[in-house]
Amino acid sequence: MNEAKKKKTETSVVVSRNGSMSALGAFFVYLITVLSLGVGFWVARNKFSVDLVSDPSLTLFLLWSIEFPVVAVVYSFLRKAPEKCSWSKAVGRSILGLISGALMNALGAIALGAPIGMQYLPKTIHWSFLMSVFTFVPATAVFGASWTDWHRAFASMKPTGNIEYMIVIPAYGAIVGGWFGAWPMPLDWERPWQEWPICVCYGAIGGYIVGQMLCLSLMFLFRKHKNLKVA
């Protein structure tokens, strides 16, 4: 039993340190995060009788408050150097990442033209927390405060290993999706979903999921290509 535990620990260390994960493992990670989003929408609709159009603030709060614990817990298992950083420490720093990421997303949204005012403040806050869950929390859980990893993965766009690709591609997908989702806002269609931040939310969630699908596709493709080269 001791040997089995030791082997399991050594395996988890190697996986985290090398940033490698199987495509099947990535699929289950993404499946869990998408299902938790679905649970958030289900709770909003069936328990509170709201959605993003009727009550954006409450719906967004339910989404990020359900999604965040799942993302923090799952990605903390994928942390780098687990022999130096415990799982609980990784979860703790993901909380800091949630807050700092929300602040960065809020400031970025306002700088890009998000409406300012007390009536929009709760919506902006909860939207920023949801975006932080998509963009900052996974990276904070895995990288911590390592500026080298952050810069290489996001600024230089040179992630190494499947785990880093699992973080970067959906994060950029959420950002790009939110940007495209903002396009209908200034149009004079007079639809309720054009209000801030409803269409941006739909775009960000869609981009996040598309990013996950793209990452999985690349992982399967590269694995197949590698197997063909070996053969």
Q: What pLDDT sits at residue 224?
A: 57
Half-sphere exposure of 206 (CA within 13 A, CB side): 13
pLDDT at 187: 87
Give the global pTM: 0.88
Q: What is the pLDDT of residue 22?
A: 87
Whole-number pLDDT of residue 12: 40
Going by C-beta distance under 8 Å and a sequence separation of 6 or more, which residues neighbour residue 75? 29, 90, 94, 137, 138, 141, 142, 167
Give the pLDDT score at 15: 45
User: In this structure, are residues 165 and 219 in contact, taking their beta carbons and an 8 Å threshold?
Assistant: yes
Question: Can you give the pLDDT at residue 94?
Answer: 97
Q: Where are the domains of the chain?
A: 22-229
Q: How far apart are CA 25 and CA 82, in angstroms?
A: 18
Q: Do the beta carbons of residue 53 and residue 198 sit within 8 Å?
A: yes
Q: Tell me if residue 163 falls in helix, strand or coil.
A: helix
Alpha helix (H) ranges present in the chain? 2-18, 23-46, 56-76, 87-111, 121-135, 137-143, 147-150, 162-181, 198-230
DSSP 8-state secondary structure symbol assigned to residue 132: H
Look at residue 135 in the predicted model and tell me its pLDDT. 96
What is the pLDDT tens value at each position of the chain, 231 positions in all? 444 444 444 334 334 344 578 889 999 999 999 999 999 999 999 999 999 999 999 999 999 999 999 999 999 999 998 989 999 999 999 999 999 999 999 999 999 888 988 999 999 999 999 999 999 999 999 999 889 999 999 998 888 889 999 999 999 999 999 999 999 998 888 899 999 999 999 999 999 999 999 999 998 887 755 543 434
